[in-house]
Each structure stands twice: as structure tokens, then as C-alpha cells.
Amino acid sequence: MSNLAVLPIIIPLFAGIILAFFPTKVKLLRALTKIFSISSLLVVAYIAWQVINHGPIILETGNWPAPYGIILVADPLAIILVLTTNIITVACAFFAPHSVTLKQEQHYFYSFMFFLITGVSGAFLTGDLFNLFVFFEVLLMASYALIVLGGDKVQLRESIKYVLINLFSSMLFVTAVAFLYGVVGTVNMAHIAERVQEVDQKGILTTIGLLFFFVFATKAALFPLFYWMPKSYIVPNPVISALFGALLTKVGIYSIIRVFSLIFIYKLDMTHQMFIWIAGLSMIFGILGAFSTNNVKLIIAYNIIPAIGFIIMGIGVFEQDAVSGAVYYLVHDMIIKAVLFLIVGVVAYVAGTSDLRKMGGLIHYYPVLGWLLFVSAFILAGIPPFSGFIAKLLLLKGTLANGEIAITIIALASSLLILYSVMKIFIKGFWGEKNSKYETEKKSTKGLIGPIIFLLTFSVILGIGAEFFYPTIEGISTYLLDPEVYIDAVLKE
Amino acid sequence: MEIVTCILAGLLFATAIYNLLQKQLIRIIIGTGLLSHGAHLFILTMGGLKGGKSPILNEDVSNYTDPLPQALILTSIVISFGITSLLLVLAYRAANDNGTDNMDQLRGNKNE
């Protein structure tokens, strides 16, 4: 039974290995990728159902009891994020054959994609900090390979910066783990939480907490550590951008949620108050970035930053509604960012350029694409009844109830500006006169629209069916606010 | 003894940062190598140094070194080997394609 917890890691790992055996048989690769991604989704959906109905599944590898061995914890928060990850993988598996070049497919694109999923699932499920680092490295290694796949000049340049910044933060991560080990003498998260509670989080522990925050904030691209992110996310293929935009920064933010709802929660006025400020600044600077450019892909990449800001705002307030909002926003944002990256990928492909100034009138030739962009801009900005609205409603209810007026105003204003920054793509790219250039060389969008609609359906369901999902999300936030539950579940006291 | 290794780790970090801030790609990579060495040394120190005792707990051994940091370092060393080799290949390709190993010139596109 408890072995279920390892399946979300094992299945993509084996898929990646098996696919690596025949890199040149492209048709087989595509078929197997679809089969593996769908079967993985079904398995994870079953596990999620089990976890939500019957409580967390905990796997103690090699039967070593909890504080000593390596453990995997499939709790509700982790498992819904793994589920979302797998939904996105399915969409990307179907999108990829029509978007990735044959050469990239033959250079182990699908294997690396599955290794990336292995790392992401592992990071969500692991129960100790050092394995969090290891799984971070697994996903980063795959992402290094994916970002440079194709070997364009610009890809090489951006990947060097990307590798360097991630290597630096990873080494700080190890150092932070070493510090924490030196102080509390364990790396198991539940055990750390228990010991930190015993000594009431002295000054040194808060400092270590902030070091962890610095590391995770770099990975999550929070203000002021986002400078490396937008350009490196737009250089690879749209599918890869979608995977990165949807998953990588979210692993960083998940780690912040985990560490700062479980371990470092006894100096709220210091750490969590700082989060609120950083959240506000992330929103402002992310929006400024999105306005500063005419590159459609870059606009979406910059939009990741305010989204991360919204989530960290929920953690900063650290109270029922706000945390529910943050979790809801996390799930919503993973899906909608994947959708938007895929859409702008198609837009850039059909227009032959990613520069907005050279586009116009696309709606006459690609009406479905245009309206998909329109709807997803609404979802992103949080227009009712879509999922963004529910998440933001919960978040803002939480912030207002706690008297954080300034951040509420910034959040509301930035929501409007987010809507405008994405609408700009619609207005400048899709409105306007018919352009004879697209008439003569109309490109086929066969196979590209399906996965986008598939993902968008989940986003819409998440909004319209909020009544159905809310109890689960509320359960997660109640559980996040009470670390005892996690500690008891893992250490079985 | 712990104090000495802590200072040494600090020195490694300082040298690493100095090298990371250079313009030549190869020096940056040396910087990353030093950085991971510093981090590893630091983990080892945090487990407590017991003057050359073995990391084994047996029935007749009462004084032993903490084995956990050593397990952690082993993992971390393998990872940093992997990344260093990747980075070297990447730097080689980037230097070949761009015709320079200077970070200043790597950023210089026409419209950036």
C-alpha cells in the first residue's frame, strides 16, 4: 500500500530510460511517450484519490523507520501538485511531436522530459531536505539538457547563465542544509520541525530559515532574484518553455510553502512579514517587465513573477483563507502558465516572429487560437467564473481580514495590469487588417490546438467546479497551518 | 579543529566568489568547483570532527564519527562532478560558436 508513494517517481524514470534505447525510431517514441504519460496520469489520479480520502501515504524506503531512513510523503498538498504536473505532461506529450524538430526528438527530447517529471515529482514527494536537494538536481540536470537542446547561439548563451545561477543556489542549498544539520542534527523535515519547536526557533534558526528562503526564492524567481529567469525560459522550444514555466518555479515555491509552514513558523512577524513585502515587489517588478517588451514569449515569461508573488503573499499572511488561496493559485497557475506558453508558442510559429510590432490581423486566419488566448488571459487575470478568480478571492479575503491593505491594493492593481499585458498580445497580434502575408503562407495548427484545449478545460473546471474542489483545498490549508499533523503522520507518535 | 575547517571553508567560498565574478568562462567554472568544495567541507565540519575516528557504530566502538554527513557529501560530490563536466562542455561549445570566452562579449547581441 505505502509503495504507491514511489510510483509517481518510478514511472517517468523508467519511461525515460526505456525511451533512451531507441532514439531514432521517432514514431515509436511518440506513441510510447503518449502511453507512458497517460498511464502515469491515471496512476497518480488513483493515488491522489487514495490520499485525499484516506490520509497521507508514507513510504519508509528499506523499512528504515522515519527519522533515520529516506522517506517519501504523499500528503494531499504534494499529491495534487504531482497530479497537476502529470496533467501538464500529458498535454506536452501530445503537443511535442508537432512542435519539436525531428533532430531534437532524436536527441532524447522525450527522455529528458520524463527525467524532468521524475525530478519534479520527487521534489514534491520527498520527506527530507537533503533529498529535496537531490531531486532539485535531478530536475535541473534534465532542464539543463532541455534548455540547450538544439544548440542555437542564443540557447548556449542563456543556458550558461541558467546553469551558473542554479549551480550557485544549489551549493548554497547544501550549505544551508549543513547549517541546519549542525544545529538540529537531522535532515528529516518532520524531525527538524519537532526539534525547532522544542527550542522555539532561536535567532540562528531564523537566519538559516532566511538562507533557505534565499535559495528557494532564486529557484522560484522572486523579487529581486528573478533576473535570470525570463530570457532563459523563452529560448528553448515552446513545449519546453511550457514545462519550465509551469513546473520549475513552482517547485521553488512549493519548497517555500513546505519549509515555512512546517519548520520556521515561530517568528512570523519577521519571516512571513518579509514575504508580504517581497510579494508586493515581485508583483510590481514582474508587471513592469511584462510591459517593457514586445516579445510575446517574454511577456508570458515575465508574468510568472507576479504569479509567484501572489502565492508568496498567501504564505506571508499565513491564515486559513490566504493559505487556501495560495494553494489554489499554485494549482491554477501551473496549468494556466503551461497553456499560455503553448499558445504564444503557436502564435510565434504562425506569425513567423515573436515580435508584436510585426504581427497583426491573425484573428482572420486563426480564430480558434485567438479566442483561446482571450479566454486564458481572462483566466490568468482572475475574471469570474474562472479559476484565477476563486484563488484571488480567497487570497484577498485573507489579506483584507488581516489588515494588509497595501498589499491588497497592489494585488488588485497588478491583476488588472496582468490582464492588460496579455490582452496586448490579443489586441496587437490578432486585431487589425487582414494581412496578405499570412494568406499566402497559412500554417497548419493541426495537433497544436488539441492539447491547449485539453489543459484549458482543467482550468475552467477548476473555476466552475470550485464548490467541489474547495473542501479539499481547505483541508490542505488547515493541515498546513498545523504542523503537528505532518509530524505525527511521519514520525508515528 | 572545527574552527579551522570552518575558516578554510570560508576561504574557499571567498575564492570561489572571486572567480565567479571574473569574465573568462574557464575561471568561472573553476569558481564553481571551489564553491562545491567549500560546501562539502562545510557539511563534513557540521557533522563534527572526531580526530580520525571511523564512521562506524559497532557494539565495541563507542567513539565514532557521524556517518550521515559523509553520505550527504558523497551524493553532493557526484552531482557536482556531473554539473562541472556539463558546464565544461557547454563552455566549450559556447566559446566555439561565439568565438569568445569573455562573458562581456557573450551578452552583446545587436539589440540588447
Between A305 and A200, the more confident residue is A305
What is the grid cell recorded at A463? 473555476
Residue A281: predicted pLDDT:
92
Q: Do A174 and B40 touch (CB under 8 A)?
A: yes
Residue A122: predicted pLDDT:
93
**What domain range is A30 assigned to?**
2-491
Residue A117: predicted pLDDT:
94
Give residue-wise pLDDT tens across range A430-482. 887 777 666 667 777 778 888 999 998 988 888 888 888 888 888 888 888 88
Q: What is the mean pLDDT of residues B27-48?
A: 90
Identify the contact set of chain A against chain B, taking CB-CB distances under 8 A.
130, 133-134, 137, 141, 144, 148, 151, 153-154, 156-157, 159-160, 163-164, 167-168, 170-172, 174-175, 177-179, 181-182, 187
Q: Does B8 touch chain A (CB under 8 A)?
A: no
Q: Do B39 and A174 touch (CB under 8 A)?
A: yes
**Predicted TM-score (pTM) of this structure:** 0.92
Of A153, A164, A167, the CB nearest to B98: A153
Pairing of strands A57-60, A71-74: antiparallel
Q: Does B43 touch chain A (CB under 8 A)?
A: yes
Of A134, A144, A181, the CB nearest to B75: A134
Tell me how many residue pairs between chain A and chain B have CB atoms under 8 A apart. Answer: 89
Between A296 and A438, the more confident residue is A296
Q: Does B41 touch chain A (CB under 8 A)?
A: no
Instruction: Please name the helix (run of DSSP H) or strand (run of DSSP E) that holds residue A158, with its range, or none.
Output: helix A153-184
Q: Does B37 touch chain A (CB under 8 A)?
A: no
Give the pLDDT band of residue A362 (cuts 50, 70, 90). Answer: confident
Give residue-wise pLDDT tens across range A104-137. 888 899 999 999 999 999 999 998 899 999 999 9
Q: Which residues pair with A128 in a beta bridge?
A: A188
Evaluate if residue B52 carries a pLDDT over 70: no
Q: Do B87 and A167 touch (CB under 8 A)?
A: yes
Can you state the angle between helices A367-381 and A387-401, rounded to 10 degrees?
20
Residue A18: predicted pLDDT:
93
Give the pLDDT band of residue A1 (cuts 50, 70, 90). Answer: low
Q: Does B20 touch chain A (CB under 8 A)?
A: yes
| A137 chain-B contacts, CB cut-off 8 A | 79, 83
A126-to-A69, A132, A253 alpha-carbon distances in Å? 12, 6, 15
- Dihedrals phi, psi of B69, to nearest 5 degrees: -55, -35
User: What span, in angstroms and rounded, lies between the C-alpha atoms of A446 and A449?
Assistant: 7
Give the pLDDT band of residue B19 (cuts 50, 70, 90). Answer: very high
Q: Which residues pair with A290 in a beta bridge?
A: none
Of A151, A175, A181, the CB nearest to B39: A175
ipTM above 0.85, yes or no: yes
- Dihedrals phi, psi of A283, to nearest 5 degrees: -60, -50
Q: Which residue of A has its CA nearest to B28?
A: A164
Residues 6+ positions from A353 with CB-CB distance below 8 Å = A359
The CA distance from B106 to the nearest CA of chain A, in Å, is 7
| B46 chain-A contacts, CB cut-off 8 A | 178-179, 181-182
Give the pLDDT band of residue B107 (cuts 50, 70, 90). Answer: low
The CA distance from B97 to the nearest CA of chain A, in Å, is 6
Contact between residue B5 and residue B27 where contact means Cβ atoms under 8 Å apart: no
Ranges of H-type helices in chain B: 2-20, 25-46, 67-98, 103-107
Q: Do A144 and B86 touch (CB under 8 A)?
A: yes
Three-state secondary structure call for residue A57: strand
Give the pLDDT band of residue A212 (cuts 50, 70, 90). Answer: very high
Of B42, B79, B98, the CB nearest to A178: B42
Question: Which of A68, A107, A156, A161 is the best substitution to test chain B (most B C-beta atoms within 10 A)?
Answer: A156
Evaluate if residue B79 carries a pLDDT over 80: yes
Residue A4: predicted pLDDT:
87
Give residue-wise pLDDT tens across range A26-71. 899 999 999 999 999 999 999 999 998 888 888 888 888 878 888 8
Residue A386: predicted pLDDT:
81
Question: Which of B24, B25, B41, B79 is the best substitution to test chain A (most A C-beta atoms within 10 A)?
Answer: B79
Task: Flag the least confident range among A296-300, A356-360, A478-482, B68-72.
Answer: A356-360
Contact between residue A160 and residue A169 where contact means Cβ atoms under 8 Å apart: no
Of A137, A151, A182, the CB nearest to B79: A137
User: What span, in angstroms and rounded, lies between the C-alpha atoms of A86 and A8?
Assistant: 9
Contact between residue A192 and residue A129 where contact means Cβ atoms under 8 Å apart: yes
pLDDT, chain B, mean: 84
Give residue-wise pLDDT tens across range A253-286. 999 999 999 888 888 888 888 899 999 999 999 9
Of B68, B80, B94, the CB nearest to A156: B94
When divided into structural domains, chain A yields a total of: 1
Instruction: Please name the helix (run of DSSP H) or strand (run of DSSP E) that holds residue A58, with its range, or none.
Output: strand A57-60
Give the pLDDT band of residue A360 (cuts 50, 70, 90). Answer: confident
Contact between residue A156 and residue B98 where contact means Cβ atoms under 8 Å apart: yes
What is the grid cell recorded at A90? 500529458
For chain B, domains (ranges, CATH) are 1-49+66-104 (1.10.287)
Q: What is the mean pLDDT of residues A86-98?
A: 91
Of A148, A170, A175, the CB nearest to B90: A148
Q: Which residue of B has its CA nearest to A130?
A: B72
Give residue-wise pLDDT tens across range A214-245. 999 999 888 888 888 888 888 888 899 999 98
A458-to-A42, A251, A397, A452 alpha-carbon distances in Å? 15, 20, 24, 10
Contact between residue A306 and residue A283 where contact means Cβ atoms under 8 Å apart: yes
Give residue-wise pLDDT tens across range A147-197. 888 878 888 888 888 899 999 999 999 999 999 998 888 888 999 998 888
